[in-house]
Chains A and B, each alone.
Chain A
């Protein structure tokens, strides 16, 4: 059984078919990349998994459980964490607080206990902070831990968003264009991190990315998407040499 399985999913926005009868499955422990020109429907696939959009038809399961009968906020409970293409951080909070929100799915205390800050809350807080501190070390975020997001450079925000997702100890990590807007060096870092996330932390990664260097460097399998439908699927080399993919990219003038 695959970790994540999408079967014949379709979603339309008015006349636009954003996802067209798409099926894909992500195996536990792999890095699976989705590539495709702008507007191909890549982010929409993520938003379907996050339950922000309701598919017209099709099935989505995670670890054998039906994702479609869950609310959007109950997706995280299964161990699915994500980043956003245009960075969605909590701007008026510090880096540390942002990462701690990533721990929300592990919250075990209630409002009254937290108001009184009982010993149990303190113990739980320590656990959350230990987990977050590991992420801060891993991503070299120490210099920023108490900085407000609103004042941080773009590259750092991108890393913080990855950190927030990692703080939740996910089983599946969804990365929407993790390297877009990053410098060559930053992209290189991102590549090592994604490698380590898979190899050391054992987290399955599903990512959308335009940078073919990064895609071939880290992913086991690649899916090429055009107009919401599957164009090709296979190893990075197979997909890059696929005639349909080459045609699609030349046709749209490369993304």
Chain B
């Protein structure tokens, strides 16, 4: 068991709680950087895909896991990010400008959406965001002059300081670009968590009443959460566009929204780790499934809806047996080993708390 001795308040504010975790994460980043020399192009592409999903996951995690606002509309924000980045580049903006701008534009849309959404809670918010997902498809078609509607668009070549980056011809460079964005987004997220706004997010999630009593402006805080969440999601959307190479109105469908939400639930709501664990599951599940069906002897027969079905089953199992997701399970396993042999079975049981209806009396 690692015991933390407090030396100063600096300690709590630090990015890493101790040297050990600093080394673990430094090693992880180091391995990630040299990965193109360790993997072939196919697997590097898969890892790139995982990272892009992880960025999108971080975006939704900020809103749903951190602030407690469920969204089934994030595919729409992926689309906004993707289209605005690529339309920007088609109009002569360099990638280094178009890309962050895509994040900002998506963030603005997210903030605007928060204005009606602030009044909605739980399932009602989820339903409203579904509408967003459905609408996105139609709007992309309606805006054909800009979006090329159903025929879709091709992602242009990215150039940064004269260096050309493309998913197929230079998969290693594209991977490094995605990795850099992933690290930046993770860092921003982590910084927020140790600052007042991040804590205000959690306060809004757990009790709007007492957050208000502590001086947290609920509407502003939710607007900030929507804005930041959608900005990050927009960046992920742009990267998805480059990764796919071509995209149209059907690329960012409601299925993507649902997968994204499932992903962070399976990964573990409310933690950065959860976004990454979830991304691994979602990116590798199709591969794992096709390998299994091959093994069983299903051969080339595609079973419609198999992927979604298995995914749904996994989700239900998690909600029933491990609501804290993969990250929660990981924490428990770690604690069990740290305390060995003193771990107790009901150590993680929750205490009774009051019903919402009893709250203000």
Contacts and interface: CB of A to CB of B under 8 A. Distances in A.
A91 B353 contact: yes
Contacts of B191: 114-117
Contacts of A85: 361
B334 interface: no
A81 B214 CA distance: 7
A93 B199 contact: yes
Nearest to B204: A90
B216 interface: yes
A91 B356 CA distance: 13
B230 to A, nearest CB: 14
Interface stretch (B7-15, B157-165, B170-178): B7-15
A122 B13 contact: yes
Interface stretch (A61-69, A103-111, A241-249): A103-111
Nearest to A115: B188
Interface stretch (A1-9, A25-33, A126-134, A189-197): A126-134
Main SS at interface, chain A: helix
B224 interface: yes
Interface stretch (A71-79, A213-221, A226-234): A71-79
A128 B200 CA distance: 14
B188 A90 contact: no
Contact of B213 (A81, A121, A126): A81
B24 to A, nearest CB: 19
Contact of B13 (A101, A126, A133): A126
A76 B360 contact: no
A107 B361 contact: no
B209 A84 contact: yes
Interface string A113-156: 01111000110011011100100000000000000001111100
B13 A111 contact: no
B143 interface: no
Given A88-B207, A115-B192, A125-B195, A104 B351 contact: no
Contacts of A117: 191, 194-195
A93 B202 contact: yes
Contact of A168 (B10, B194, B211, B215): B215
Contact of B351 (A74, A75, A153, A168): A153
Interface in A44-76: 47, 50, 52, 71-76
Interface string B183-215: 000001001101111111011011101111111
Instruction: With a 10 A CB-CB cut-off, give which of B9, B188, B224 has the most chain A CB atoms.
Output: B9
Contact of B215 (A76, A122, A125): A76
Given A89-B207, A92-B202, A102 B195 contact: no
B199 A114 contact: no
B351 A101 contact: no
A88 B208 CA distance: 9
B20 interface: no
A92 B207 contact: no
Contacts of A81: 213-214
Contacts of B228: 111, 115
A152 B359 CA distance: 19
Given A90-B202, A104-B199, A114-B191, A125 B214 contact: no
Contacts of A182: none
Contact of B194 (A72, A90, A125): A125
A224 interface: no
B215 A90 contact: no
B224 to A, nearest CB: 6
A107 to B, nearest CB: 4
Nearest to A157: B351
A52 B32 CA distance: 51
Given A114-B198, A117-B194, A164-B214, A90 B12 contact: no
A129 B351 contact: no
A71 to B, nearest CB: 8
B200 A101 contact: yes
B9 A72 contact: no
A86 interface: yes
A17 interface: no
A73 B219 CA distance: 10
Nearest to A71: B217
A100 interface: yes
Contacts of B360: 43, 47, 52, 84
A87 interface: yes
6 contacts: A73-B212, A91-B353, A93-B203, A105-B214, A116-B191, A117-B194
Interface of A: 43, 47, 50, 52, 71-77, 81-82, 84-93, 96-97, 100-105, 107, 109, 111, 114-117, 121-122, 125-126, 128-130, 133, 150-154, 164, 168
Given A73-B216, A76-B215, 6 more contacts: A84-B209, A90-B205, A101-B216, A126-B9, A129-B13, A153-B351
